[in-house]
Structures are given as structure tokens and as C-alpha cells.
Amino acid sequence: INHIDLGKEADLFIVAPASANTIAKLSNGMADNMLTATALALPSTTPKLIAPAMNTKMYDNPLTKKNLNTLVQLGYQEILPKSGVLACGDTGRGALADIDVILKAIDSKLMH
């Protein structure tokens, strides 16, 4: 199955966890891997979710915010990261949202 077929068959598209790099690629239309190529091949009606997970400084960086805003304007719904101790040992916002929050967002998109 290629990225075109995956895009046609998807009931929903979610990137979880979404790194700053993947968010930047998606917001700029890059298609250099299966994930980003599939994203570009999605019909405009496919619900799209993105769940960032990264260091607080990366999440709060103006470029990351700009890229996330671009994705929201393109129809993605951001699932906000949670605050806490991050993988790097820092404390702050950037940890992947809890699975129940992600599942609620998925259910909400699929029910509409």
C-alpha cells in the first residue's frame, strides 16, 4: 500500500507523538517520508489531529507555534501537550497528552 492508497482509505489521520521536525515538515508541505507523503495525499474532508510532544523550549519556540498555527488553519486539531517532567528531565509543557485525552479527540472527530 502506498501513501495515496493510505490517504484514500483513512477515516482519520493522527500524528501522536508529533515532533517539532514533523510539525515543521507537515506545515511546509514536505513529503520526504511515508507519514508526510500520506498527509499530503489526504482528502480535505479527512479529520486530522496532531499531538505535539517535545521539550518546552521547542514547543514554545515561535517557529513551532507558527507551524502549529499553519496546521490548524489547514484543518488540523491540536491535542495540547501536558505539563510535567519531560523525557529530558526538564519540567514544563511538552509531554504527550494522556491517552484518554487523545482517544476523546479521536472519538469526537469520528462522531461528527
The residues that are catalytic are 88
In contact, 84 and 78? CB cutoff 8 Å: no
CA end-to-end distance (rounded Å), the chain? 27
Place of cell 469526537: 108
> Nearest 5°: CA angle at 65, between 57 and 59?
25
For the beta carbon of residue 23, count every other beta carbon within 10 angstroms.
25
